[in-house]
Structure 1
Amino acid sequence: MRDGVLTRGARGAGALICLLLALLSAGWIIRDLAVAEHGADVWWAWLGETRRPREFTAWATSALDPLLVLGALAAAVAQVRTAVASSVAAGALLSLAAAVALLRIPLVWVLGADWLQGLDGGLTGWARLTVLAQLALAAALFVVVAAGRRRSPGRPGRHTAGSAHGPAGAMAPVYGVVRAVPSVVGPGRPGSPYRGSAGTIAVLLGAAGLVLAGWEIHWRQQLGWYLYRKGLLGDASVFRALLQPPVHWQGAALAALSLGAAAAALRRAALSRPAALTAAALLLAHGAVALVHTARAGAFGRLAALSLRSHLEAGTAVFVAAAALGVLLAAVRPGLPDTSRDLDAVRAYGSAPGEARPPHAPPPPSRLPPGW
């Protein structure tokens, strides 16, 4: 992204779009709670329980949907808070849009597939309409960030002469005026992660993304394209919820989000922190669901009898969840402060003995010229 700031109108439009995204997903969560016999049934459905709530219907949401709601609300808050750097606010919009697009695209054709004819046609129709609306809103977020930027306007110089005041508060004779020098916090745009945090994010997300990508390559080789395609593009055998992407598509999408955020962290881009938070939250849910599924299957009680692949799957779930927690802790730390506000400020200082002056200001001569 070119150097600039989001206009107030762009941030307001972004906040409104984020709220609409959150409302669409929240509506389907409320629907699942309404059709569930017990509220806990929705929780178990998010953790991989395949039992349907009723005949001719299905669960609509997965563990990803509450995270999308929270992510959209957080992005909306980032737009209305002026303390959030413009580059970070733009990164929040882009990260949310990328996650929504990657996780919703396959549902466009999945929800129109013939093998869903056993479900209520009105239900699948509304779900597909929701997906199309969310994809349109995600595209709108990309447009808002691309079109709603302007160059940072120059700030007029500000004269701060606090150091040229006498003990009683009266203005002392001013010897010189210098420009203020911002504090040195290292190179990078406001909101960019510090080097330590950026390195942690890049290593953990890069490793998690490569592990997930490696598993997708393994399953492609192990299953063959015919069976792998069902888990990638959707099939009745892998269907879990209306708004849940196919299992292999989800794994590939999370790998792409993780590797993209890791690459941004390597560059210490301002958008790397919101991108890392988005990817880490989704990875944490992915790893937690896998761990719960493994525990409910009793695998942890008979580890010695499991195959090598089962050990690797359980280890992957633990690593992905732990890496996601580490990334969340690193990405939630504040980034570089905005020091551009003082670039054009000027400071005056006097010539009295012991007069405080800016460290980069030249000292007055031992004897001032007559009439100074």
Structure 2
Amino acid sequence: MGQDRTLARGARVFGSLLLAALALISLVWIARDFTKADEVVDVWWNWAGLPARAEDGVWVTSFLEPTLVLLYTVAAVTAYRSSSSGAILACVGSLTAVLRVPGLWNLGSDWMQGVPDGLLSKVLFSTIATVVLGLVLVVTAVVGRRPAQGPSTGYGYGFPAQDTAEGSPAGPTRGGAVTAFLLLGAGGALLVAWEIRAVQQVGWDRYEHLLTGERSIVRLLDSPAGWVQWSVVVLSLTAGVAALAGAPFSRPLGLITAAPLLALGLFAVAFGVKTEAFGHFGDLGIEAQLRLLTSLYELVAGAAVLLALARGEQRASRALPRYRGGGSAAYGTSPQTW
């Protein structure tokens, strides 16, 4: 989204409703898994990757569901009132489509035998609906644009502009941009290194299944491990470079990218705590130690990026400011909220 473009009110309302619908779909499947678990906590450990028994032997949700529910909820509220709503809708929609699209070919595959047909059909239909809603979010972000009304709040007394739906999208602060670039860049590089290591360990034929999901999906809504990792890599590097360049869209993109990065670290750390890997850190091999340290880095880096990009700077817009009264408009920089 350009600095002088924002979304019309109708597009913001429509986008928020789409995000609410996406959150509801994920919540329905989370609730389903809770009803099938022997104990409520089993769902959490299932998300962390630990074996847990479901009533019918089938888990639907993965760590992506709670992550996306939180993301959709925050984005729905924020997109309604923020001048960065176009970038928010486009980024969340793109992330949704990318993470869900592997289900379109996996859920209809022959190797999914053993899953009750009724359940499989429902998951497939909800996946199709989710991908469509994600793409509609992107289209809404593109076609719903209108010229921004300038950085002024409209009071005309020199007050700094706020990141409301009427102003220009705010870019990251200089310090936040550098922090996001370093943390996201390092996170992306670590994930690339581990994926290269995985190819060396299992060979390309088996690693290809980690990308496509063939015979490697154990939770129906889960995305292939390699697919998720490379998606986060692309998002991290893109958001980091865009932040360093000061692009206004880099703030919502960076904040949205931090969510799956933080989730990867959080659930990996939970797995390590549950299996007492951290308690026996010194007894582990060097590779296992590095994996644990990587999960800690993902957790810390994701949280740090959220903090670094939480505030932004308003740049002077090409649009003329509005005046009310005899005061002058301010063209300086000011703290912004997403």
TM-score (norm 1): 0.79
Q: Does 1:49 align with 2:55?
A: no
| Residues 182 and 342 in structure 1, CA contact (< 8 A), matched pair in contact too | no
What are the equivalent positions in structure 2 for 1:190-229 lying under 5 Å apart?
190-229=169-208
| Residues 25 and 65 in structure 1, CA contact (< 8 A), matched pair in contact too | yes
Q: Does 1:314 align with 2:295?
A: no
C-alpha distance in 2 between matches for 1:51 and 1:226: 28
Q: Could you say if the C-alpha distance between residues 50 and 346 of structure 1 is closer, same or farther in structure 2, counting changes exceeding 3 Å? A: closer
Residue of structure 1 equivalent to 2:72: 72
| Residues 202 and 262 in structure 1, CA contact (< 8 A), matched pair in contact too | yes
Q: CA deviation at 1:69?
A: 1.2
Residue by residue over 1:197-239, the C-alpha shift from the partner in whole angstroms, topping out at 9 and shown as x without a partner, is 1111111011101111221122123321111012111143x33
| Aligned residue type for 1:60 | V
Q: CA deviation at 1:332?
A: 1.9
- After TM superposition, the structure 1 stretch with the greater mean CA deviation from structure 2, 146-155 or 136-145, is 146-155
Residue by residue over 1:155-174, the C-alpha shift from the partner in whole angstroms, topping out at 9 and shown as x without a partner, is 9xx997xxxxxxxxxxxxxx
- After TM superposition, the structure 1 stretch with the greater mean CA deviation from structure 2, 302-311 or 209-218, is 302-311
Residue of structure 2 equivalent to 1:234: 213
| Aligned residue type for 2:115 | L
Residue of structure 2 equivalent to 1:368: none
SS in 2 for 1:301: coil
Q: Does 1:108 align with 2:107?
A: no
Q: Could you say if the C-alpha distance between residues 348 and 22 of structure 1 is closer, same or farther in structure 2, counting changes exceeding 3 Å? A: closer
Q: Does 1:39 align with 2:16?
A: no
What are the equivalent positions in structure 2 for 1:1-372 lying under 5 Å apart?
1-2=1-2, 3-55=4-56, 57-81=57-81, 84-85=82-83, 88-152=84-148, 190-236=169-215, 238-333=216-311, 335-337=312-314, 343-345=321-323
The total of aligned residue pairs comes to 322
- Name segments (4+ residues, structure 1) moved above 4 Å: 180-185, 337-342, 346-349
Q: Could you say if the C-alpha distance between residues 154 and 314 of structure 1 is closer, same or farther in structure 2, counting changes exceeding 3 Å? A: closer
Q: CA deviation at 1:31?
A: 0.9
C-alpha distance in 2 between matches for 1:241 and 1:101: 18
Q: CA deviation at 1:12?
A: 1.4
Residue by residue over 1:48-90, the C-alpha shift from the partner in whole angstroms, topping out at 9 and shown as x without a partner, is 12233024x4111112211211211222112322xx22xx111
Q: CA deviation at 1:263?
A: 2.1
| Residues 182 and 339 in structure 1, CA contact (< 8 A), matched pair in contact too | no
C-alpha distance in 1 between matches for 2:145 and 2:237: 26
C-alpha distance in 1 between matches for 2:102 and 2:326: 63
TM-score (norm 2): 0.86
Q: Could you say if the C-alpha distance between residues 38 and 297 of structure 1 is closer, same or farther in structure 2, counting changes exceeding 3 Å? A: closer
Q: CA deviation at 1:338?
A: 7.6
Q: Could you say if the C-alpha distance between residues 183 and 18 of structure 1 is closer, same or farther in structure 2, counting changes exceeding 3 Å? A: closer
The CA RMSD over aligned residues, in Å, is 2.9
SS in 2 for 1:300: coil
C-alpha distance in 2 between matches for 1:337 and 1:190: 7
Residue identity (%): 37
Q: Could you say if the C-alpha distance between residues 27 and 183 of structure 1 is closer, same or farther in structure 2, counting changes exceeding 3 Å? A: closer
Q: Could you say if the C-alpha distance between residues 184 and 246 of structure 1 is closer, same or farther in structure 2, counting changes exceeding 3 Å? A: closer
| Residues 280 and 327 in structure 1, CA contact (< 8 A), matched pair in contact too | yes
SS in 2 for 1:5: strand
Residue by residue over 1:173-198, the C-alpha shift from the partner in whole angstroms, topping out at 9 and shown as x without a partner, is xxxxxxx878699xx95421111111
Q: Could you say if the C-alpha distance between residues 331 and 259 of structure 1 is closer, same or farther in structure 2, counting changes exceeding 3 Å? A: same
| Aligned residue type for 1:317 | S
Residue by residue over 1:137-167, the C-alpha shift from the partner in whole angstroms, topping out at 9 and shown as x without a partner, is 1110111111111224689xx997xxxxxxx
C-alpha distance in 2 between matches for 1:66 and 1:281: 11
| Residues 183 and 339 in structure 1, CA contact (< 8 A), matched pair in contact too | no
C-alpha distance in 2 between matches for 1:344 and 1:126: 51
| Residues 189 and 336 in structure 1, CA contact (< 8 A), matched pair in contact too | no
Runs of 5+ consecutive residues of structure 2 not aligned to the other structure: 330-338
